[in-house]
Amino acid sequence: MRLNSAFLACGAVSLPGVIAWGSLGHITVAYIASNFVKQETAVYFQDLLRNDTEHYLAGVATWADSIRYTKWGRFTKNFHFIDAKDDPPSYCGVDFDRDCKEDGCVVSSIQNYTSQVLDTELWPWRRNQAAKFVIHFVGDIHQPLHTENVERGGNGIHVRFDSSELNLHHVWDSSIAEKMLGGIHRKPYEAAYRWAADLTNEIRSGKYANSTEVWVDGIDLDDPIATSMKWANESNAFVCTHVLPEGPEAIVGQELAGEYYEKAAPVIEVQVARAGYRLATWLDLIVDRLSESGAPVGEL
Ligand SMILES: *[C@@H]1O[C@H](CO)[C@@H](O)[C@H](O)[C@H]1NC(C)=O
Ligand SMILES: *[C@@H]1O[C@H](CO)[C@@H](O)[C@H](O)[C@H]1NC(C)=O
Ligand SMILES: *[C@@H]1O[C@H](CO)[C@@H](O)[C@H](O)[C@H]1NC(C)=O
Ligand SMILES: *[C@@H]1O[C@H](CO)[C@@H](O)[C@H](O)[C@H]1NC(C)=O
């Protein structure tokens, strides 16, 4: 499928005056994680990230997007996704060897940057940067279109949402979540903070309380590839069921803010909740490992 290329240019860069795409989801994931990490983990990352407020994770959650289009950061451009060469809606599934590009993907990057956070021989600024990548990529991998090859993760699929002309990737990055919260135009941190508080309650004692064990089942710091492949594959399965349920051709030009949105919203919600809870668990495992190995935890 070939689509309007002038349109594509808009989706790829953030426009002045508009909140960076996807920031609401990333910041919410970070706030949820900070609600679930152990005290020791919070202290450790507050120190590494040089921010002793409750915003220490949220404040760096979108950093990786901010450097992605700079000259220095260009090498990270493929680290945000894994392009499954599947065939939605009839076949979904991610395969690491087939789908991870030679210069990296979100799965290899979670491994790469986790190992750097764990490596206390590295300079603190390198480990600080690595932590910011891990926080961001655990969010990205939970967005179904960050695990899909079709039209570059839907960037090349032109749709409508509440009458705006958008691409499908943007709808899943931002529009669905923004509509769920009643429209967010200026203050993503406040909106994310409140959304994270709601999802935290759902995880602690609401509709997700019986799911957390399953969410972190098999999570293994010694095998970051298998761990994040499981997350990628789970996320990608939604491409067949909710993102492109009738295939890529059928969705072109459709208005998605109606029935499509009603089905998509619970997917966005559970994916943000899972990402936040898993990120907390992952950061706890990192700090457990560092303290076992005798590294001075809480003091860099
Ligand atoms: C911590 O992060 C928040 C959010 O980015 C920021 O507003 C605040 O100034 C930071 N505090 C410090 C001490 O850096
Ligand atoms: C691992 O991270 C380093 C530091 O950012 C980067 O230079 C390197 O390209 C990454 N390696 C892979 C395979 O992604
Ligand atoms: C958790 O409980 C909800 C009802 O509150 C139910 O729909 C769901 O199937 C349960 N999930 C698991 C994993 O038991
Ligand atoms: C990945 O997901 C597909 C369905 O989307 C499933 O058939 C397959 O078993 C999954 N693979 C792994 C390794 O979980």
Nearest CA to ligand 3 atom 1: 210
Ligand in closest contact with the CA of 241: 4
Residues within a 6 A CB radius of ligand 2:
75, 104, 108-109, 112
Q: What is the pLDDT of residue 296?
A: 63
Q: What is the pLDDT of residue 181?
A: 92
Q: How far does residue 55's CA lie from ligand 1's centre (Å)? A: 6
Q: How far does residue 94's CA lie from ligand 4's centre (Å)? A: 7
pTM to 2 decimals?
Answer: 0.91
Element (H, E) at 158: strand 158-161
Q: Which CATH class is domain 6-292?
A: mainly alpha
Q: How far does residue 278's CA lie from ligand 3's centre (Å)? A: 19
When computed from its CA atoms, the radius of gyration of the chain, rounded to whole angstroms, is 18
Q: Ligand 4 in contact with 134 (CB < 6 A)?
A: no
| Amino acid, single-letter form, for residue 167 | N
| 218 closest CA partner among 228, 208, 210 | 228
Give the long-range contacts of residues 72-81, CB within 8 A, separation 24 or more. 75/103, 76/109, 76/133, 78/103, 78/104, 78/105, 79/104, 79/105, 79/106, 79/108, 79/109, 79/133, 79/137, 80/106, 80/136, 80/137, 80/140, 80/146, 81/105, 81/106, 81/140, 81/146, 81/147, 81/153
Both tokens of residue 94?
A: 């991610």
Q: What is the pLDDT of residue 59?
A: 97
Residues within a 6 A CB radius of ligand 1:
51, 53, 55, 59
The residue ranges of every structural domain in the chain are 6-292
Q: What is the pLDDT of residue 182?
A: 87
Cβ-count burial 242-276 (b if 16+ within 10 Å, e if not): bbbeeebeebeebebbeebbeebeebbbbbbbbbb
Cβ neighbours of residue 16 closer than 8 Å, sequence gap 6 or more:
none
**148, 228, 233: residue to mutate for ligand 4 pocket, most atoms within 8 A of CB:** 233
**210, 212, 213: residue to mutate for ligand 3 pocket, most atoms within 8 A of CB:** 210
pLDDT along the chain (300 residues), means of 10: 35 36 89 98 98 98 95 96 97 98 96 98 97 98 97 96 96 95 81 96 98 97 98 98 98 98 98 98 98 68
Both tokens of residue 265?
A: 């919203």
Ligand in closest contact with the CA of 127: 2
Nearest CA to ligand 3 atom 14: 210
| Amino acid, single-letter form, for residue 211 | S
Q: How far does residue 205's CA lie from ligand 3's centre (Å)? A: 12
Strands 158-161 and 164-167 come out as: antiparallel
The Cα–Cα gap between 96 and 229 comes to 7
SS3 66: helix
Q: What is the pLDDT of residue 18?
A: 35
| 100 closest CA partner among 232, 242, 234, 279 | 232
Catalytic residues: 21, 26, 65, 68, 80, 136, 140, 146, 169, 173
Q: Beta-carbon neighbour count of residue 291 at 10 Å?
A: 15
